Chains A and B, each alone.
Chain A
Amino acid sequence: MLGYLVRRTVLAAVTGIAVLTLAFCIVRILPGKPSHVILGDFASQAAIEALDKRLGLDRPIWVQYADFMRKSVMGDWGTSMVTDRPVVDEILRVLPWTLELTVAALVIGIVLGVPLGVWAALRRNGAADYAIRVASLLGLSFPAFVSAVLLLLLFSIQLSWFPVISARTGSLSAWAQSLALPAINLGLINAAYITRVTRSAMLEVLHEDYVRTARAKGVPWSAVVWRHALGNAMIPIVTVVGLFLGILIGNSVLTEIVFNRPGLGKLIVGALNQRDYTMLQALMVTYTLLVVAVNVLTDLVYGVVDPRVKLQ
């Protein structure tokens, strides 16, 4: 297990260095300069050049690269070119918002998706199966920003149960209230994915010999389904959950915008629009680290749900 962890960590480090280089290159390939965005269309060429100098963008590209790599390795991510605030502070300030939304959406997705997928598989081609399949297809096809507005119209305007602006106001209940709608919005989409994967994985294992054997031995049907069948169907489900977790962190941007929550997605869109090089670089690295962490976590969960992976 230790060797496995070391291998994964080394691989992650190499990925990290490659990402640093890519992050540096990609933001500079983008046309449009931060100085134009910061100073706007009122600024003269002289003012733009002066700002370029202050931001260090007048230096040769390789000097900028060497400086970036050196500072990154030392943990100095610099300050935002637009707001002058330290990028790490900015990211750390919004990271908990994204993480809590992602985790809540994932929990909703699993709690709804797995039982529905199992139920649909058990009722294959029955009314329940069709209903669940149609519902999950709708969940996959429905744009997140549309469902978000519909949720707001129903629960915030008509019923006045939740605030339109989802931001914590201090108390636990206020926090839960502000998290509920965004988490449901993302969670339902997540549940649609998990339902479909669970259903197809269950359909495969339900026809396996060991399931028939277990039933022949008189094992209760619920134990056969939940322990024997679902236990063996877990690998594809965990894979999808892991993949989806990475996607969810990135895809939360629309939900964050509509519910007016801070978050990484909103931060990266803003940085992209403003060509905030330092912020973009740090965000790309943050996303990569998150995805790498999720992948490592997924691999570790494989080991838990399938002992054969642990042995390898």
Chain B
Amino acid sequence: MKTIWRSAVLSLLTILAATPALAQKRNLVVAAATADAGKLDPHLTSLGADKGMLNWIFNALVRIKPGQVNPEFIEPDLAESWTANADKTEWTFKIRKGVACHGNYGEFTAEDAAYSLKRAADKARSAFAGDLASIASADVVDSHALKVTLKNPIPSLLGLLANYHGGMMVCKKAAEELGESFARKPIGTGPFMFVEYQAQQFVKLAANKSFFRGAPQIDEITYRYMPSDATRDLALQSGELDMVFGRQTDQWVARMRSVKGVKVASIEPAELNMLHLNIKAKPLDDIRVRQAIAHAIDRKGMVQLLGDQVSREAVSVIPNGNLGTTTLSLPAHDIAKAKQLLSEAGYPNGLTIKVIVSTHPTLSKITEGLQAQLQKAGITLDMQPVDHPTWHQQIRKDLSPIVMYQAFRFPVADSYLSLFFHSAAAIGSPTAQTNFSHCDVADKEIEAARSEPDQAKQKALWKTAQEKVAAALCGVPFSESLQVWAWSDALDLGYDMAGSLNLVPDLTEKTRFVR
């Protein structure tokens, strides 16, 4: 009898103990705002939605701590530790042992790391080859040691090797065996493994039970492609989705906050909204015209227009929060002064400037706001709307003397300054990137900062560069737009969320449902 009672009590306890585990949800459904996947290769894709998901599949030698975006939070990932020589041109990384590539592709070793860096630096196989141009070689020292040699010291090698763009590590055997189809079947070492892709619907990922940081607490992720804002919101409300990409408006944030069981967050990184003024083209080659534009723009007004829950005022010609950002004294909103400057420049009756504008809803809304503000000072923006791909092509042919651009780059001052304000990146040059203003006033400081080993001096050089660019009015920064996400309050991300460098919240082995 005693045995029967003991068995009964034990059974009951077992059932009670098992019940919460059974009830706990272990499949996560996330919605991106795009219609379909692009190339699922971390070295090729430029789509934010793809990059975010690939961050769950791949690792890098180092990573920015989940939930953070600043390089000061860099910590070991596939590399356990590293050392550098005195002038920081030779780095040796000790690769973590026992890391398994997804599928049957063996252990991740220094050979995979060297292969990944060479692949990411190859312009035929990578969109981010330019970022890694300073790497002279990546050599295998032994199976778990990698030596990276630089052509010259750079501000943040660890930043380049973090879990972002060209820093992502692929498994050599898988990449070589799969060839171009690697972009349809990505193989990494991360907490989640690629399982299935359904066109225009979803990508399915499964937990990598042998993940080196521990088995994930989510068994399956369905990453849905849902371009309709309304449908994403309704599906979150109905419980069909657990996490959605939001709309960058205060109204959306307020509405979703009122939905029971939903958490909303505006997260870093913020994308800097700036008018890039071509300083070599008429009439913008006259600094008084550029000053007039700067004084005509009301930064507070733009933040009001875009919503103060999802945007904030710009503080410099590079995004706030980057390593090296200096808060500058930007031109004050002063219509009378703007008109006076225009008069002095020979335009007493105002002037009209052509602007090619993307029909992308966010970009066109911002440009329309600016158009209304500038009109008050007599500056007419002759807006010529074109679709987004056409806009990208036309602004890279110098067809628009003013370019309204929204962007963030790896959060080290050198990235933004080099890509937007160094003469080597000027449109039309062989090494053209996104210097739409043809700015060349701070080349010396930008270059000197790159190889400056003393961080205080490096920051001083970046400060001077920002001041020079701002004084020359190569660009007029006015606001910054944050990333907006909403998720079920039953979901515990496993870290404090401040931001995500890959624009999509990190999902780690610690992410779980609490009910």
Residues of A whose CB lies within 8 Å of any CB of B are 30-33, 36-47, 50-51, 54, 82-85, 90, 93-94, 145, 149, 152-153, 156-157, 160, 163-165, 167, 257-260, 262-263, 266-267, 269-270, 273-275
Q: How many A-B residue pairs have CB under 8 A?
A: 152
Asked whether A83 lies within 8 Å of B39 as measured between CB atoms, the reply is yes
B-side contacts of A45, CB under 8 Å: 430-432
Q: Would you call B389 an interface residue if the criterion is a C-beta within 8 Å of the partner chain's C-beta atoms?
A: yes
Asked whether A273 lies within 8 Å of B387 as measured between CB atoms, the reply is yes
Q: Would you call B474 an interface residue if the criterion is a C-beta within 8 Å of the partner chain's C-beta atoms?
A: no
Chain B's interface size range is 35 or more
Q: Which of B35, B198, B227, B238 has the most CB of A within 10 A?
A: B35
Q: How far is the CB of A31 from chain B (nearest CB, A)?
A: 4
Residues of B whose CB lies within 8 Å of any CB of A are 35-39, 44-47, 123-124, 126-131, 165, 180-181, 183-184, 198-201, 224, 226-228, 230-231, 234-235, 237-238, 240-241, 386-390, 392-394, 396, 407, 430-434
29 A-B Cβ contacts within 8 A?
A31-B393, A31-B394, A32-B392, A37-B392, A38-B46, A39-B127, A40-B46, A42-B127, A42-B165, A43-B130, A44-B129, A45-B432, A46-B129, A83-B36, A85-B184, A149-B230, A152-B234, A156-B234, A257-B35, A257-B227, A257-B228, A258-B228, A258-B231, A260-B226, A266-B227, A267-B199, A267-B200, A273-B387, A273-B389
Asked whether B389 lies within 8 Å of A37 as measured between CB atoms, the reply is yes
User: A39-B44, A41-B46, A83-B38 are known contacts. Are A156 and B389 too (CB-CB below 8 A)?
Assistant: no
Q: Does more than half of chain B's interface fall in helix, strand or loop, or is it mixed?
A: loop
Chain B's closest residue to A36 (CB) is B392
Chain A's closest residue to B433 (CB) is A44
Known: A31-B386, A39-B44, A260-B224. 6 other contacts (CB 8 A): A41-B392, A44-B433, A85-B184, A152-B234, A153-B234, A257-B231
A184 vs B234: C-alpha distance when bound (angstroms): 19
Q: How far is the CB of A30 from chain B (nearest CB, A)?
A: 8
Asked whether A83 lies within 8 Å of B231 as measured between CB atoms, the reply is no
A83 vs B41: C-alpha distance when bound (angstroms): 10
B-side contacts of A36, CB under 8 Å: 389, 392-393, 396
Asked whether A266 lies within 8 Å of B37 as measured between CB atoms, the reply is no
A270 vs B389: C-alpha distance when bound (angstroms): 12
B-side contacts of A50, CB under 8 Å: 123-124
Asked whether A32 lies within 8 Å of B200 as measured between CB atoms, the reply is no
Asked whether A269 lies within 8 Å of B35 as measured between CB atoms, the reply is yes
B-side contacts of A262, CB under 8 Å: 198-201
Q: How far is the CB of A225 from chain B (nearest CB, A)?
A: 43
Q: How far is the CB of A57 from chain B (nearest CB, A)?
A: 13
A-side contacts of B165, CB under 8 Å: 42
A51 vs B228: C-alpha distance when bound (angstroms): 31
Asked whether B240 lies within 8 Å of A54 as measured between CB atoms, the reply is no
Chain A's closest residue to B237 (CB) is A157
Asked whether B39 lies within 8 Å of A165 as measured between CB atoms, the reply is no
Asked whether A42 lies within 8 Å of B46 as measured between CB atoms, the reply is yes
Q: How far is the CB of A274 from chain B (nearest CB, A)?
A: 7
Q: How far is the CB of B63 from chain A (nearest CB, A)?
A: 20
Asked whether B389 lies within 8 Å of A157 as measured between CB atoms, the reply is no
User: A38-B44, A42-B128, A257-B227 are known contacts. Are A157 and B234 too (CB-CB below 8 A)?
Assistant: yes
A37 vs B388: C-alpha distance when bound (angstroms): 9
A300 vs B241: C-alpha distance when bound (angstroms): 46
A164 vs B35: C-alpha distance when bound (angstroms): 16
Asked whether B231 lies within 8 Å of A43 as measured between CB atoms, the reply is no
Asked whether B184 lies within 8 Å of A84 as measured between CB atoms, the reply is yes
Q: How far is the CB of A86 from chain B (nearest CB, A)?
A: 10
